[in-house]
Chains A and B, each alone.
Chain A
Amino acid sequence: DVKVTQSSRYLVKRTGEKVFLECVQDMDHENMFWYRQDPGLGLRLIYFSYDVKMKEKGDIPEGYSVSREKKERFSLILESASTNQTSMYLCASSKQVSVKAFFGQGTRLTVV
């Protein structure tokens, strides 16, 4: 089975901290995505990547950046965490032009 692994299930960070969320997939997928999930809003795309060192903004990139130095790893970076970034963060991956995405279990981030 495809496995998408997020490094932490729960994180608590302080306002202003730099936060790294890590995601690793083991199926050689080209595409990787970061979404945030908020009640009543569904999932919204933050950033995505089609290949190593490539990245594109999603619908809500403000306050975030990403890094993809290796094909299997896609990192989400909160440069200076704020309380409005308290959310569930979901990583996903898919084969190029595939219609099926595989999701990690999510990281619930609380910024205090």
Chain B
Amino acid sequence: GNSVTQMEGPVTLSEEAFLTINCTYTATGYPSLFWYVQYPGEGLQLLLKATKADDKGSNKGFEATYRKETTSFHLEKGSVQVSDSAVYFCALSGSGSSNTGKLIFGQGTTLQVKP
């Protein structure tokens, strides 16, 4: 079945450091891929998405590229801020006739940015 694997956390960085959070997936067909973010005490918010191979999703300085050849969707940011401290979830949903709106999530990666 479909699955998502994220790198283990927590990740601790200093402000202005470069961020990469790895995400790989297993899926049939052509899933849509997502990064969701959960700030302390809040629900999940969509950070960015990509719906087909080679698409690049971007938002708030974060980027991720849908790589079908490596089944990956790594999250990157060039210079993190303290306000980026949160839990980040990689997720996928089905495509075409299998697009039921259900999301399959990775285990989440906690990011802590220190001043």
Task: Give chain A nearest CB distance to B91 CB in angstroms.
Answer: 8
Q: Do the beta carbons of B45 and A58 come within 8 Å of each other?
A: no
- Binary flags per residue of A1-21, CB closer than 8 Å to B gives 1, else 0: 000100000000000000000
- The CA of A55 and the CA of B49, in the complex, are separated in Å by 27
Q: Do the beta carbons of B89 and A105 come within 8 Å of each other?
A: no
Q: Do the beta carbons of A99 and B32 come within 8 Å of each other?
A: yes
Q: Do the beta carbons of A42 and B49 come within 8 Å of each other?
A: no
Chain A interface: which size bin?
20 to 34
Q: Which residue of A lies closest to B43 (CB)?
A: A103
Given A31-B101, A40-B107, A43-B103, the answer on whether A100 and B42 have CB atoms closer than 8 Å is: no
Q: Do the beta carbons of B43 and A106 come within 8 Å of each other?
A: yes
Given A41-B107, A42-B107, A43-B89, the answer on whether A94 and B101 have CB atoms closer than 8 Å is: yes
Q: Within 8 Å of chain B (Cβ to Cβ): is A80?
A: no
Q: How many residues of B contact A (CB 8 A)?
A: 26
- Residues of chain A from 35 to 56 with CB closer than 8 A to chain B in the complex: 35, 37, 40-45, 48, 50
Q: Within 8 Å of chain A (Cβ to Cβ): is B17?
A: no
Partner of B43, one of A41, A42, A90, A100: A90
Name the residue among A42, A50, A96, A97 with the largest chain B CB count within 10 angstroms: A42
Q: Do the beta carbons of A42 and B89 come within 8 Å of each other?
A: yes
> Which residues in B have their C-beta under 8 angstroms from that of A48?
100-102
Q: Within 8 Å of chain A (Cβ to Cβ): is B51?
A: yes
Q: Within 8 Å of chain B (Cβ to Cβ): is A27?
A: no
- Residues of chain B from 99 to 115 with CB closer than 8 A to chain A in the complex: 99-108
Q: Which residue of B lies closest to A106 (CB)?
A: B43
Task: Give chain A nearest CB distance to B88 CB in angstroms.
Answer: 11
Q: Do the beta carbons of B105 and A42 come within 8 Å of each other?
A: yes
Given A42-B89, A43-B89, the answer on whether A101 and B46 have CB atoms closer than 8 Å is: yes
13 A-B interface contacts by CB (under 8 A)? A31-B101, A33-B101, A33-B102, A33-B103, A40-B107, A41-B107, A42-B6, A42-B105, A43-B103, A90-B44, A96-B101, A98-B101, A99-B49
